[in-house]
């Protein structure tokens, strides 16, 4: 019984102090949510929850699970450790500062210890597969460097419990995007992450003329928080997106479905957002169970009524509590 009282005491401390309670995670964890659990988007048609979990394990993004483990605390060490395609787990300790892009190879898990921060340093997943990025804070990456996280021509990527931010005291082009997913990426999940204090949040799809490549995009956004973002929460061109149980607070533009994108938008909560869900140049959305905060959904109805994986929705009244652990709140 003692452990029950300890857990209750910790939960009470978190509630009173407002400090997110850290959750234990393992360095060998594999993706357990969204498109990152699928194999080309077609693997998860299962007849029972039990079969779903056993079947999804075969295809889930596993990163460097089972590979070597290296802890780094400098930019040079990080750059070296994440390169190449061998299985590897790279754990960031402390704060690493610079004005640089670090390219992450295939079969890699990039994990942050409690408090791990990249200041001015962006991560890139380009022409790579099977990558996990978790529990890292990335802040103030200059536009001359690029996005905080950029994913291009990649597949099987799980971005989980990250905290991405800059500021809005500079003009909108001083920084680039917080998370851009472009050039035909597939089987990508963004979960339990926090996007804040920025102009351009998250872009999916490279350009209006890139449909031949970006039409195959598949991305899940689940249990994330977007706060004080001017636009792109996210902006989604072409492809398919599943956006559910996210919290949007004090943003300008909301979810923008663009040029042929097909979105499934479920049980999200919007507060003080002028355009929670809208369309540009022929984007579409199926919207179910959302709390649009008194604003209107102006996106035309689409045809994405289901996704090829199992998932559990929480009601809109529980979303705020569910996403309380979003951001870099894990403990490895």
Separation of alpha carbons 128 and 212, rounded Å? 20
User: What pLDDT score does 21 carry?
Assistant: 56
Domain tally for the chain? 1
Is the residue at 47 inside a domain?
Answer: no
CA nearest to 161, candidates 27, 312, 329: 329
pLDDT (tens place) for every residue of the chain, 332 residues total: 433 333 334 444 444 434 455 788 999 999 999 999 998 744 443 434 444 444 445 679 999 999 999 999 999 999 999 999 999 999 999 999 999 999 999 999 999 999 999 999 999 999 999 999 999 999 999 999 999 999 999 999 999 999 999 999 999 999 999 999 999 999 999 999 999 999 999 999 999 999 999 999 999 999 999 999 999 999 999 999 999 999 999 999 999 999 999 999 999 999 999 999 999 999 999 999 999 999 999 999 999 999 999 999 999 999 999 999 999 999 98
- Check if the beta carbon of residue 276 is closer than 8 Å to that of residue 298: no
- Check if the beta carbon of residue 201 is closer than 8 Å to that of residue 248: no
Q: What angle do CA 116, 121, 127 make, to 5 degrees?
A: 105
Is the residue at 33 inside a domain?
Answer: no
User: What pLDDT score does 52 carry?
Assistant: 41
Taking residue 75's Cβ as centre, other Cβ atoms within 10 Å add up to 17
User: What pLDDT score does 39 carry?
Assistant: 87
CATH number at residue 119: 2.160.20.10
Q: What angle do CA 304, 261, 60 make, to 5 degrees?
A: 65
Is the residue at 319 inside a domain?
Answer: yes
Is the residue at 182 inside a domain?
Answer: yes
Report residue 237 as tokens.
Answer: 């061109």
Separation of alpha carbons 304 and 177, rounded Å? 27
User: What pLDDT score does 150 carry?
Assistant: 98
- Catalytic positions: 232
Q: 248: domain range? A: 59-324
Is the residue at 253 inside a domain?
Answer: yes
Three-class SS string for the chain? Answer: CHHHHHHHHHHHHHHHHCCCCCEECCCCCCCCCHHHHCCCCCCCCCCCHHHHHHHHCCCCCCCCCCCEEEEECCHHHHHHHCCCCCCEEEEECCEEEEEEEEECCCCEEEEECCCCEEEEEEEEEECCEEEEEECCEEECCECCCCCCEEEECCEEEEEECCEEECCCCCCCCCECCCEEEECCCEEEEEECCEEEEEEECEEECCCCCCHHHHCCCEEEEECCEEEEEEECCCEEECCEEEEECCEEECCCEEEEEECCCEEEEECCEEECCCEEEEEECCCEEEEECCECCCCCECCCECCCCCCCCCCCCCCHHHHHHHHHHCCCCEEC
């Amino acid at each position: 019984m003692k452990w029950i009282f300890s857990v209750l005491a910790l939960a009470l401390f978190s509630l009173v102090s407002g400090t997110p309670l850290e959750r234990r995670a393992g360095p060998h964890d594999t993706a357990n949510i969204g498109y990152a659990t699928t194999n080309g988007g077609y693997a998860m048609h299962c007849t029972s929850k039990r079969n779903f979990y056993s079947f999804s394990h075969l295809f889930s993004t596993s990163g460097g699970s089972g590979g070597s483990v290296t802890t780094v605390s400098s930019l040079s060490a990080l750059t070296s450790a994440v390169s190449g395609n061998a299985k590897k787990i790279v754990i960031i300790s402390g704060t690493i500062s610079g004005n640089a892009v670090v390219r992450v190879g295939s079969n890699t898990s990039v994990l942050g210890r409690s408090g791990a921060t990249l200041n001015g340093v962006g991560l890139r997943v380009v022409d790579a597969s099977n990558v996990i990025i978790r529990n890292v804070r990335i802040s103030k990456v200059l536009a001359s460097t690029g996005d905080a996280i950029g994913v291009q021509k990649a597949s099987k990527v799980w971005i989980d419990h990250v905290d991405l931010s800059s500021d809005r005291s500079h003009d909108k082009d001083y920084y680039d995007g917080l998370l851009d997913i472009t050039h035909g990426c597939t089987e990508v999940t963004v979960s339990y992450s926090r996007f804040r204090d920025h102009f351009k949040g998250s872009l999916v799809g490279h350009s209006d003329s890139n449909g031949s490549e970006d039409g195959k995009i598949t991305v899940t956004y689940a249990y994330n928080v977007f706060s004080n973002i001017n636009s792109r929460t996210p902006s989604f061109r072409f492809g398919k997106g599943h956006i559910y149980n996210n919290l949007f607070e004090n943003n300008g533009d909301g979810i923008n479905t663009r040029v042929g994108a097909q979105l499934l938008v479920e049980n999200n909560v919007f507060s003080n957002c002028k355009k929670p869900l809208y369309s540009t140049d022929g984007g579409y959305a199926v919207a179910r169970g959302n709390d649009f905060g008194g604003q209107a959904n102006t996106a035309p109805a689409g045809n994405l009524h289901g996704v090829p994986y199992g998932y559990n929705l929480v009601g809109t009244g529980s979303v705020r509590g569910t996403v309380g652990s979003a951001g870099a709140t894990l403990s490895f």
